């Protein structure tokens, strides 16, 4: 049986789109940014009312070993602390950033600047009630993350703050990566094609 050209075309376009999945692992990134947040440890902030000031800077001590030559943009994100991930599959940490769901909320992005970066974020009303930290990624021209920094330690236990926000126990994975969904879609399509042949 012949495979219909439309299915072939779909499959090709599918994998072209899926190539947006960039397969970058957090553990391969250089932790070269220093990130701070304004709340005191365990401070409780109100969604829809309070704000957080985030600052970040390149650790210039690393100029020789981990130069920032190829950093073009930054992305600051709000991230769930481990204590708020337990029992929530839709907040799970994965070293592969295409799949990782630790940091689903965008705070700001913009061109990379070595120092003197500060951003005050009004916490949106729809942020879930949880414990958080902030992570800032440095991104290369090809949109792949190259480095990062976070407002907590490696184990994500220090300098955490709480947001008193929306209480929800629904398991919507609104944050699940578009690229990852595409992969799943592509493989389903491929399977269908194999069944047809
Ligand atoms: C942020 O919150 C603080 C404390 O509530 C307030 O004094 C300040 O004006 C707020 N800043 C902005 C930019 O909303
Ligand atoms: C950079 O190095 C200096 C001198 O060793 C040290 O005092 C400082 O704390 C270092 N800065 C960072 C961010 O590690
Ligand atoms: C920057 O990117 C260029 C081109 O991809 C590469 O050759 C170079 O090694 C990179 N430099 C650093 C410091 O990562
Ligand atoms: C940092 O930014 C502030 C406000 O934009 C500016 O007044 C100050 O000169 C800057 N400092 C440096 C070292 O760039
Ligand atoms: C992703 C990335 O840029 N990794 C670099 C981290 O820093 C080491 C040197 O310490 C480089 O070899 C890596 O390429």
Asked whether residue 149 is assigned to any structural domain, the reply reads yes
Ligand 2 lined by 59 (C-beta under 6 Å)? yes
Instruction: Yes or no: say if 94 and 123 are a contact pair by the CB < 8 Å rule.
Output: no
Answer whether residue 186 is part of any domain.
no
Residue 192: per-residue pLDDT = 74
Q: 62 — phi, psi (to 5°)?
A: -100, 10
Does some domain include residue 41?
Answer: yes
Q: How many domains does the chain have?
A: 1
Q: Contact, 152 vs 159, CB < 8 A?
A: yes
Task: In whole angstroms, give the CA distance from residue 35 to residue 76.
Answer: 10
Kindly give the distance from the C-alpha atom of residue 20 to the centroid of ligand 5, in angstroms, as a whole number: 22
pLDDT of residue 196: 72
User: What is the spatial distance between Cα 134 and Cα 178, in angstroms, rounded to a whole number?
Assistant: 22
Q: Is 9 domain-assigned?
A: no
Please check whether residue 52 is in contact with residue 38, taking contact to mean a CB–CB distance below 8 angstroms. Answer: yes
* Cα radius of gyration (the chain): 20
Q: What are the pLDDT tens digits along the chain (197 aa)?
A: 565 666 666 665 655 555 556 899 999 999 999 999 999 999 999 999 999 999 999 999 999 999 999 999 999 999 999 999 999 999 999 999 999 999 999 999 999 999 999 999 999 999 999 999 999 999 999 999 999 999 999 999 999 999 999 986 654 444 455 556 666 666 777 777 777 76
Instruction: Take residue 132 and report the two structure tokens written for it.
Output: 């958080």
Q: How far apart are CA 131 and CA 85, in angstroms?
A: 9
Residue range of the domain that includes 85 = 21-171
User: Reduced to 3 states, what is the DSSP secondary structure of residue 197?
Assistant: coil
Per-position DSSP letters for 50-99, written without gaps between them: -EEEEEEEE-GGGTTTS--TT--EEEEEEEE-GGGTTT-GGG---SBTTT
45 C-alpha to ligand 1 centroid (Å): 12
Give residue 34 CA to ligand 5 midpoint distance, Å. 17
Q: Using a 6 Å cutoff on CB, does residue 62 contact ligand 2?
A: no
CATH number at residue 86: 2.60.40.10
* CA-closest candidate to residue 135, choices 111, 163, 166, 107: 107
- Distance (Å) from CA 194 to ligand 1 centroid: 58
The torsion angles phi and psi of 145, rounded to 5 degrees, stand at -65, 140
Q: Is residue 194 part of a domain?
A: no
Q: Are 79 and 36 in contact (CB under 8 A)?
A: no
List beta partners, residue 188.
Answer: none
Q: Is 30 in the pocket of ligand 5 (CB under 6 A)?
A: yes
What pLDDT was estimated at residue 175?
A: 46
166 domain-assigned: yes
Asked if residue 11 is part of any domain, the answer here is: no
pTM for the predicted model, two decimal places: 0.80
């Amino acid at each position: 049986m012949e495979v219909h050209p439309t299915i072939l075309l779909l499959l090709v376009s599918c994998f072209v789109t899926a190539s947006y999945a960039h397969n970058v692992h957090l553990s391969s990134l250089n932790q070269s940014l220093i990130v701070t947040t304004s709340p005191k440890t365990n401070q409780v902030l109100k969604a829809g009312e309070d704000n957080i000031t985030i600052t970040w800077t390149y650790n210039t001590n690393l100029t020789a070993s981990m130069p920032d030559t190829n950093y073009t943009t930054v992305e600051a994100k709000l991230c769930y602390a481990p204590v708020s991930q337990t029992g929530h599959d839709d907040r799970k940490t994965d070293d592969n950033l295409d799949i990782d769901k630790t940091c689903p909320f965008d705070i700001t992005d913009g061109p990379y600047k070595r120092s003197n970066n500060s951003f005050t974020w009004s916490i949106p009303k729809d942020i879930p009630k949880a414990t958080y930290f902030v992570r800032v990624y440095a991104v290369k021209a090809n949109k792949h993350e190259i480095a990062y920094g976070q407002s907590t330690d490696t184990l994500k236990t220090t300098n955490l703050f709480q947001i008193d926000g929306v209480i929800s126990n629904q398991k919507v994975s609104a944050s699940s990566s578009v690229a990852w969904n595409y992969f799943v879609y592509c493989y389903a399509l491929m399977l269908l094609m194999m069944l047809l042949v």
